[in-house]
């Protein structure tokens, strides 16, 4: 039953209040039993039963909940550095896809990898994310796009959850792209996804389903058809929406009761209103917007409309080749005009809500998972202002030290 003591500032990130309300506790301590937080509060009030326990010293630093990266494409083969210079020269994302690059080229590289090879690569990424203070990661399939490889990716997600210190949440993204072998036969591919969904749900290979609504991907009608089926099977829903243009993705996410609508760079005013009415979380992905040089998500309009905004990496080999969640948070501040407190809540309590895990993680409160990050800064402002390769000196995942600087 260790106690993390000598915390200069504990940003509990508890749920009540608005996006920027962190419910901070100065000079705090956190005590846990097994995997679960038993007590958190001012160190002077630490209950007697914990006073003789083993003490871990936070050195007067900032302590935050273990970060939640609620949107990643974690498992894939290869990289796509070969497209980087072309994109800089002005070749568009859709043009690259038309030339056979983009998602389809990652699909080809992913299909070549065994379950073991995919696991080893993703476990390596997770280890690096853990060093940055991340303890929960959502992982999407969608680079297999045939029956066998999609199931392989989903099995890898489940193994990563069991065999690494990270909480890994699995999402089936069969509707990422119509794969090359089905081009010209969309209906056949849609039926393949419809066939896989019941298997994925029955075998509990995924917690949620996602679809990419865009030119060159899937229409609103196609996504509605697939995600309605997924919802009927008991899966949670997410949606890649309005990334390259306003296609009504936000309204669809709201209509379906999705937990989150992600990207939203081109969301309309009516889309924002629909998300607010439905209580759907907007997921901001500033690293993808940075690499694509797309306009920033209208974070202030969303927050002011009452839409909770999560911040995530979108880690993938094409549009966001970085799993550095603190970088995404700093970008959310500088480019999207979230305050550091709002960005931090977006990668903790709000991100946990986007995954349906707000009762489990995302805040430092009794009863929640003992997921903590000790940050070498005095405040969230100082942390996200002074961007460093890594300011995290200790990560606790499920009550165990997963990383120590």
**HEC readout, the chain:** CCEEEEEEEEECCCCCCCCCCCCEEEEEEEEEECCEEEEEEEHHHCCHHHCCCCEEECCCCEEEECEEECCCCCCCCCCCHHHHHHHHCCCCHHHHHHCCCCHHHHHHHHHCCCHHHHHHHHHHHHHHHHHCCEEEEEEECCCCCCHHHHHHHHHHHHHHHHHCCCEEEEEEEEECCCCHHHCCCHHHHHHHHHHHHHHHHHCCCCCEEEEEECCCCECHHHHHHHHHHHHHCCCEEEEEECCCCCCCHHHHHHHHCCCEEEECCCCCHHHHHHHHHHCCEEEECHHHHHHHCCCCCCHHHHHHCCCCEEECCCCECCCECCCCHHHHHHHHHHCCCCCHHHHHHHCCHHHHHHCCCCCCCCCCCCCCECCEEEECCCCHHHHHHCCCCCCEEEEEECCEEEEEC
Question: Residue 12 or residue 260: which is nearer to Fe ion going by CB?
Answer: 260
Interface with ligand NIG (CB under 6 A): 73, 102-103, 106, 212, 240, 243, 288, 314, 316-319
Query: Closest-CB residue for ligand NIG?
Result: 318
Q: Which is nearer to ligand NIG, 61 or 263 (CB)?
A: 263
Pick one of ligand NIG, Fe ion, none as the site partner of residue 102 (Cβ within 5 to 8 A by kind): ligand NIG
| Residue 210 in contact with Fe ion, rule: CB under 5 A | no
CB of 179 to ligand NIG, least distance (A): 13
| Closest to Fe ion by CB, 294 or 363 | 294
Residue 41 interacts with, from Fe ion, ligand NIG, none (CB under 5-8 Å by kind): none
Q: Write each residue from 301 to 320 as x if it is in contact with Fe ion (CB under 5 A), else as -, in one continuous string.
A: -------------x------
Tell me which residue has its CB nearest to Fe ion. 314
Instruction: Give least dist CB 240 to Fe ion, A.
Output: 6
**Based on CB atoms, which residue is closest to ligand NIG, 171 or 319?**
319
Task: Pick between residue 2 and residue 318 the one whose CB is nearest to ligand NIG.
Answer: 318
| 61 vs 240, beta carbon nearer ligand NIG | 240
Residues of span 314-353 touching Fe ion by CB under 5 A: 314
Query: Whole-number minimum distance, CB 155 to ligand NIG, in Å?
Result: 21
Which of Fe ion, ligand NIG, none lies near 133, with the C-beta cut-off 5 to 8 A by kind? none
Closer residue to Fe ion in complex, CB, 69/314: 314
> Closest distance between ligand NIG and the C-beta of residue 288, in Å?
5
CB of 62 to Fe ion, least distance (A): 29
Chain residues that interact with Fe ion, rule: CB under 5 A: 314
């Amino acid at each position: 039953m260790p106690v993390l003591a000598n915390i200069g500032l504990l940003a509990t990130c508890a749920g009540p209040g608005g996006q920027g309300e962190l419910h901070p506790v100065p000079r705090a301590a956190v005590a846990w039993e097994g995997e679960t937080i038993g007590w958190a509060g001012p160190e002077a009030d630490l209950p007697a039963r914990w006073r003789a326990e083993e003490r871990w010293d936070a050195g007067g630093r900032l302590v935050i909940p273990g970060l939640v990266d609620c949107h990643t494409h974690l498992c894939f083969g290869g990289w796509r550095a070969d497209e980087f210079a072309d994109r800089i020269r002005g070749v568009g994302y859709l043009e690259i896809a038309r030339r056979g690059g983009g998602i389809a080229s990652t699909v080809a590289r992913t299909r070549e990898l065994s379950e073991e090879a995919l696991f080893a690569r993703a476990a390596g990424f997770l280890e690096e994310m853990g060093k940055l203070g991340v303890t929960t990661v959502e992982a999407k399939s969608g680079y297999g796009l045939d029956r066998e490889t999609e199931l392989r990716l989903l099995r890898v997600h489940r193994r990563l959850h069991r065999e690494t210190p990270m909480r890994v949440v699995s999402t089936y993204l069969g509707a990422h792209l119509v794969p090359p072998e089905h081009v010209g036969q969309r209906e056949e591919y849609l039926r393949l996804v419809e066939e896989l969904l019941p298997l994925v749900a029955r075998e509990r290979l995924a917690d949620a389903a996602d679809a990419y609504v865009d030119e060159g991907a899937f229409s609103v009608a196609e996504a509605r058809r697939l995600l309605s089926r997924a919802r009927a099977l008991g899966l949670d829903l997410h949606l890649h929406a309005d990334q390259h243009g306003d296609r009504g993705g936000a309204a669809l996410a709201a209509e379906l009761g999705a937990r989150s609508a992600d990207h939203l760079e081109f969301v309309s005013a009516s889309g924002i209103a629909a998300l607010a009415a439905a209580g759907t979380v907007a997921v901001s992905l500033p690293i993808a917007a940075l690499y694509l040089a797309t306009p920033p998500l209208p974070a202030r309009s969303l927050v002011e409309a009452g839409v909770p905004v999560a911040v995530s990496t979108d880690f993938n080999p094409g549009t966001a080749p970085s799993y550095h969640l603190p970088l995404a948070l700093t970008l959310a501040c500088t480019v999207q005009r979230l305050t550091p407190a709002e960005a931090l809540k977006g990668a903790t309590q709000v991100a946990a809500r986007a995954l349906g895990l707000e009762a489990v993680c995302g805040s430092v409160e009794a009863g929640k998972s003992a997921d903590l990050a000790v940050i070498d800064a005095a405040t969230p402002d100082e942390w996200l202002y002074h961007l460093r390769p890594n300011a995290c000196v200790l990560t606790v995942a499920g009550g165990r030290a997963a990383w120590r600087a």
